[in-house]
Structure 1
């Protein structure tokens, strides 16, 4: 099922130069939009500064989780096992989790907990990032869904923990 979904999406790549360019752009450069939003929020007000800080810490936690998962679990990327359309070069490391998707969802979820509108826009961009990673031939849909889940849950748990510690420290 995972491969069938991957194939349904990935077989569309290479057919339209404009869409391929857009998917490569999203896959490789969307992180700069996220960085800009984090910087903007840092200087906006105290609540947004907290959201921005939490997003960076959650992203750091997901990077460590990514490293640990890849250390103990290996899932071959789609282009290693099969002949698929690949639009940009990739590492030969494990397909799961998708670092791009982990980071985007960690940041967008952290922002969403404080600023629903901006967080919703970032979530859409996160979904597009995950989709683009399938389009360019680097990840299976299950890699993207799992990474989105891990990134989001990490941010929620970190936010709840930080609020609890903050509440306790004020008592």
Structure 2
């Protein structure tokens, strides 16, 4: 069963990453998203902290989201250290659209941070629907696979 899930995982990675290199607009869009999503979220948190009509509400939301992301990233480091999963480009043919690192592929720091920030801000802000933040987090996770540096986690555990 685990071998079947690993095969499905590799097939999905190859399908999503195989889309890269076909349409330059999408390559640029997903490359930008994969590289700069953290900066986009950081700028949004700065905006919440310094501007807006409901400064106190915005600041509490920004702080809560930042703490959620920090906690998620700390947990990621522990999981990545225990269940090291190689980057997909080291074991599968891949189109790499962005610079890569040699650290663990799963769990993804970018996806974890994006979802933690989105859920930390969810329901706390009146000017931005939570669905937009969650959709952006999904976009970040997809972009990282599209760019070749991550793959979705295999059900049943990390690794190939």
TM-score, normalised via structure 1 length: 0.78
- The CA distance in 2 between the partners of 1:10 and 1:129, in whole Å, is 14
Match of 1:41 among 21, 38, 48: 48
After TM superposition, which residue ranges in structure 1, 4 or more long, deviate above 6 angstroms?
A: none
Higher RCO structure (Cα 8 Å, ≥6 apart): 2
Match of 2:111 among 84, 98, 101: 101
Aligned-CA RMSD value: 1.7
Q: How does 1:103-118 map to 2 (within 5 A)?
A: 103-115=113-125, 117-118=128-129
TM-score, normalised via structure 2 length: 0.83
Q: Which runs of 5+ in 2 are unaligned?
A: 1-7
Equivalent residue number for residue 101 of structure 2: 91
Shift of 1:118: 4.1
Greater fraction of residues in helix: 1
Count of matched residue pairs: 144
Q: How does 1:1-171 map to 2 (within 5 A)?
A: 1-43=8-50, 44=52, 45-115=55-125, 117-142=128-153
Per-residue CA shift, 1:104-128, capped at 9, x if unaligned?
A: 1111111113126343222111111
